[in-house]
Amino acid sequence: MLQGLTRRRVVAGLAALFAVVTGNRRALASAPTKTVRLQKWRCTNQDCDPYIYDPSLGDINIIDEANPIPPGVAFEDLPDDWICHICGDPKSHFIALNEWVEVDVPA
């Protein structure tokens, strides 16, 4: 099922994850935060090229632009009416990727 492109992206994602983990361990010495491991999700609309929800980045949140999604929010915890900010597709049109990020959030 995994195609070559997907495999390369997973490898790239793992490399990035190791960098994040290494960096976080150093930064965590005294910070009042905890590290959570969250999954990336991809919009399946071909027009999106694609858009990937990355929990380490959050989202601009076009359904409520005054309240952007902050880093550290799991895809599952996005509002039910949250939509892709590029194509407007709902959460149900996203698929989970085998790519994870570690994010520091308030403890």
What's the full length of the chain, in residues? 107
Query: How many residues of this chain bind Zn ion (CB under 5 A)?
Result: 8
Q: How many CA atoms lie within 13 A of 32 on its CB side?
A: 1
87 binds Zn ion (CB under 5 A): yes
Cα–Cα distance list, 87 to 1, 46, 48, 84, 104 (Å): 26, 9, 6, 6, 29
Among 83, 84, 97, 101, binds Zn ion (CB under 5 A): 84
- Determine how β-strand 33-43 pairs with β-strand 52-53: antiparallel
CB of 72 to Zn ion, least distance (A): 22
Among 71, 89, 91, 105, binds Zn ion (CB under 5 A): 89
Beta carbons within 8 Å of 24's beta carbon, 6+ residues apart? 35, 102, 104
Candidates 15-23, 55-63, 69-77, 80-88: pick the segment binding Zn ion (CB under 5 A).
80-88
Candidates 3-11, 12-20, 62-70, 77-85: pick the segment binding Zn ion (CB under 5 A).
77-85
The contact mask relative to Zn ion for 30-49 (x = CB under 5 A, - = no) is: -------------x-x--x-
